[in-house]
């Protein structure tokens, strides 16, 4: 299993994000680095562009997001060749313009997922690569609080907690492997593989550091920034990294939280 947390990624991510989010994004970076991303690339739900600036710096790319404030941050960061405010469910950003597409934990937040996938398909060139991270349906069962409640016999309360967590993070779509495969294939893609990723330990560490990270989420709501003094947070990166690394080592490393889906738009030859 690929290491979920590397010092180099952590040092770049932690100054700008809460620790709970940093742990998840670093794990996704580790998975994505195994893939060959070709330009031009479309990043759906690009957010502030921090992930892109680390994952594929300098690659010809277009970032799109429905939040114009996030797009402004991505543009200011120089994460993309171009960043635009757009709704992927309304229209494709370009017909067969892109060689690859990434959707980093954005699809589950889109109510009209079928339209989003159809427009991503239309945006890719024949043979184009589609990569996405999506949550596994039962990822909340690895939360410590959920497991404690179930151990105490309060299964209904544990399920209510899980539902509340998914509602808080606005997860409109949660499927098992076959459910996600069906959604992607229905849009016309050929699914090459679906891999479970992000460990049970990652979910538990996320929960442990969620409460102290809430100030960052509040700041994001109020100011559109998780942190405001990133140059000061750099001084705390090493102890935070060691704390996160130690916490991850305490729990099960089985990948259970998310799926990494690799799919392609069929090439013209395979269609004919």
Averaged confidence pLDDT in the chain: 95
With 0.85 as the threshold, say if the pTM is over it: yes
> Can you give the residue ranges of every domain in the chain?
7-137+171-271
Q: What percent of the chain has pLDDT over 70?
A: 98
pLDDT of residue 173: 97
pLDDT of residue 270: 59
What is the pLDDT averaged over residues 254-267? 97
What is the pLDDT averaged over residues 172-178? 98
pLDDT of residue 271: 53
The number of angstroms, rounded, from the C-alpha of 147 to the middle of its chain's C-alpha atoms is 24
Q: Which two tokens stand for residue 71?
A: 């797009």
CB burial of residue 170 (10 Å; 0-12, 13-18, 19+) = exposed
What digits encode the pLDDT tens for the residues 205-248?
A: 999 999 889 899 899 999 999 999 999 999 999 999 999 999 99
What digits encode the pLDDT tens for the residues 59-109?
A: 999 999 999 999 999 999 999 999 999 999 999 998 889 999 999 999 999
Q: Kindly state the helix (H) or strand (E) to which residue 268 belongs, with its residue range.
A: helix 268-271
Cis, bond preceding 113 (omega within 30 deg of 0)? no
What digits encode the pLDDT tens for the residues 110-154?
A: 999 999 999 999 999 999 999 999 999 999 999 999 999 999 999
Q: Which two tokens stand for residue 215?
A: 């100030």
7-137+171-271 CATH pick, 3.40.50.150, 2.30.110.10, 1.10.10.10, 3.30.420.270: 3.40.50.150
Residue 159 has pLDDT above 90, yes or no: yes
Nearest to 6 by CA among 74, 45, 55: 55
- Backbone phi, psi, residue 136, to 5°: -75, 140
Residue 3 has pLDDT above 60, yes or no: yes
pLDDT of residue 2: 60
Q: Which two tokens stand for residue 234?
A: 């750099």
112-115, long-range: CB < 8 A, 24+ apart: 113/172, 113/173, 113/183, 114/183, 114/186, 114/187, 115/88, 115/89, 115/90
Residue 272 has pLDDT above 50, yes or no: no
């Amino acid at each position: 299993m690929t290491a979920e947390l590397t010092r180099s990624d952590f040092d770049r991510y932690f100054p700008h994000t809460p620790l709970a989010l940093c742990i998840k994004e670093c794990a996704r970076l580790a998975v994505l680095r195994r893939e060959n991303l070709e330009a031009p690339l479309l990043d759906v739900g690009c957010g502030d562009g921090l992930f892109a600036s680390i994952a594929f710096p300098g690659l010809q790319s277009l970032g799109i997001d429905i939040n114009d404030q996030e797009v402004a941050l991505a543009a200011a960061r120089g994460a993309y060749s171009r960043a635009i405010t757009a709704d992927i469910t309304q229209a494709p950003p370009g017909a067969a313009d892109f060689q690859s597409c990434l959707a980093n934990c954005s699809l589950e937040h889109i109510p009209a997922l079928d339209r989003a996938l159809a427009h991503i398909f239309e945006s890719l060139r024949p043979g184009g690569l589609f990569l996405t991270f999506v949550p596994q349906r039962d990822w909340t069962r690895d939360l410590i609080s959920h497991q404690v409640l179930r151990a105490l016999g309060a299964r209904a309360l544990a399920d209510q907690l899980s539902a509340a967590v998914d509602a808080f993070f606005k997860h409109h779509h949660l499927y098992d492997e076959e459910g996600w495969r069906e959604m992607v294939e229905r849009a016309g893609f050929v699914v090459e593989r679906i891999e479970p990723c992000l460990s049970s330990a990652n979910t538990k560490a996320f929960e442990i550091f969620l409460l102290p990270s809430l100030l960052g989420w509040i700041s994001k709501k109020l100011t559109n920034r998780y942190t405001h003094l990133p140059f000061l947070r750099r001084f705390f990166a090493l102890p935070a990294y060691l704390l996160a690394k130690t916490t991850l080592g305490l729990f099960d490393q089985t990948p259970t939280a998310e799926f990494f889906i690799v799919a392609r738009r069929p090439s013209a030859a395979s269609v004919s």
